[in-house]
Amino acid sequence: MPYGGGVRIDQGYLGWGVFFVAAGAIALAIGAGAVPDQRWWSFWPLILVGAGIGLVLRRTPFEIIGGLIVAATFGIMVGGSVAGGFGGFSGIGGVGGLACSGGDEGTAFADQTGTFGASASVDIQVDCGTLSLSAVPGAAWTVRGADGDGRGPRISSSDDELEVYPADGLSSPISWLIDLPTDSSLDVSLQLEAGSLQASFVDARLGEVDVEVNAGQAILDLTGVSDIATLDAGVNAGDVAVTLPSWPMTGRLEVNAGAVRLCAPPDVALRIETEGSVLASTDLSEAGLVEDDGAWVTPGYDVAPVRIDLEVQANLGSVRLNPSEGCT
């Protein structure tokens, strides 16, 4: 509509327009060979730049600039990833979950195992592949699976630490199945580059759980954990699904160019903050939560025996609670 002698532009539509223009332009450029193929999700720090500019210029005529930087960054990430290819998801978990270099499931490597003491930290990194993580009774951990040449991962371990990284020059695809013991209290850090993750922690005793998935999918099943303190999960150009436990906890989930699915037991009261999300949609109201002091909460949250407090940020994505398809 006319405004001030010009045209008033809907900022929401403008943001989507910039996103699609950037995504299409970078995809065409890669297809024509004008721009080299690379890991485009690594551009995500520009989202922080755009958010910062938006805050600095807030309540000024230039406030929209920050949002446009964010939209353009998402367009570059998504268009570049689609054009360059980051693997296809043919089933999340198991040995055949993601084939970054075709349908070959790889060559099995020798199992490796060890034991933990009362507490330990676990750090796992997968480049181009799948990771299936389970909790098992006892104090022993096991790493098994397959990769391109059967060499297996690079493992460093002690009674209070386990590090599992791809070996130098290890060929793709990687498919790892890792069992972690329930007798030890564990801090777990998981990082996947172009991969998929399925983790089940039944009876596990967890402290801090940190998950990062770039160009991939993550399914985290916290049903039946014996203890958990915090969850910090981030997904760039992908999807994260979390089944929450019947246990008090706090957490933060961030998804850039993707989606968050949360499944909560009926005996759990939720408080979910979504402030800071850009070009995102939620169904928290439809799921029965009500707005209270800048957050979405379960009615009766303050007096509920089991409460979970989450901060969720979905940029160019969606946040859904108890979706019909579930979180598995």
List pLDDT tens digits, range 273-319.
987 666 677 889 999 999 988 899 999 999 999 999 999 887 777 88
Residue 11: in which H helix or E strand, if any?
helix 11-31
- On whether the CB atoms of residues 313 and 277 are closer than 8 A, the answer is yes
Residues whose CB falls within 8 Å of the CB of residue 241, separated by 6 or more in sequence, listed in order: 217, 218, 219, 220, 260, 261, 262, 263, 327, 328
pLDDT given for residue 328 in this prediction: 83
Question: Minimal CA–CA distance to 126: which of 68, 167, 67, 157?
Answer: 167
Which residue(s) pair with 176 in the sheet? Answer: 131, 145
Q: Average pLDDT, stretch 1-10?
A: 47
> How much is the mean pLDDT over the chain?
79
- On whether the CB atoms of residues 270 and 264 are closer than 8 A, the answer is yes
- Kindly report which listed range (50-54, 98-102, 151-155, 323-327) carries the lowest average pLDDT score: 98-102
Cis ω for the linkage preceding 36 (within 30 of 0): no
- First-to-last alpha carbon distance for the chain, in angstroms, is 46
pTM of the model: 0.71
Residues whose CB falls within 8 Å of the CB of residue 137, separated by 6 or more in sequence, listed in order: 181, 182, 183, 203
How many CB atoms are closer than 10 A to CB 192? 27
Supply 129's token pair.
């592949």
Residue 102 burial (10 A CB sphere; 0-12, 13-18, 19+): exposed
- On whether the CB atoms of residues 94 and 132 are closer than 8 A, the answer is yes
Per residue in 184-241, pLDDT (tens digit) is: 999 999 998 877 899 999 999 999 999 988 877 889 999 999 999 999 998 777 788 9
Confidence of residue 48 (pLDDT cuts 50, 70, 90): low
Domain ranges of the chain: 2-84, 98-321
How many CB atoms are closer than 10 A to CB 145? 22
Residue 230: in which H helix or E strand, if any?
strand 230-236
For domain 98-321, say whether CATH 2.60.120 is its number.
no
pLDDT given for residue 97 in this prediction: 36
Q: State whether the Cα torsion 190-308-272-58 is positive or negative.
A: negative
Q: How far apart are CA 258 and CA 270, in angstroms?
A: 22
Residue count of the chain, please give it: 328
